[in-house]
Amino acid sequence: MPSAPVKEADAASQKPVKTIRVRGISASIFANKAKTDGKDITFHKLKLQRAYKNGEEWKHTESFGRDDVPVLQLVLQRAWEAMLEMKNAQPTEEEAE
């Protein structure tokens, strides 16, 4: 029996497989599953955000300032490398058979 499609609420509550944090900026990597040509595949997506404190409460934004750009570059580089490692760790078609 085919699995039910993932609802938006389910996708939003999905936990990242890896999070990279540097100076309040984080890149969260999420694993997504799909079927292509009858085969299950996993691909990864990325969400960037910056944490900041408003009084005693921590908040998050997807807006970045000029001084965030070098940190974003570093976080993105590390996230890209992690995503490549995850892709390389997946079995090839020959290994899966």
For 39-97, how does the pLDDT look when each residue is reduced to its tens digit (9 = 90+)? 888 999 999 999 999 999 999 999 999 999 999 999 999 999 999 999 998 876 555 55
Whether 2 is covered by a domain: the verdict is no
CB atoms within 10 A of CB 79: 21
The pLDDT score that the predictor gives to residue 6 is 46
Does residue 5 lie in a domain region?
A: no
- What is the number of domains present in the chain? 1
In this prediction, residue 16 carries a pLDDT of 97
Q: How many CB atoms lie within 10 A of CB 65?
A: 7
How far apart, in whole angstroms, are the C-alpha atoms of residue 69 and residue 71?
A: 5
pLDDT band at 13 (very low <50, low <70, confident <90, very high): low
Q: What is the SS3 assignment for 64?
A: coil
pTM: 0.77
Asked if the structure places residue 6 within a domain, the reply is no
Report in angstroms the alpha-carbon separations of 5 from 8, 14, 62: 9, 14, 27
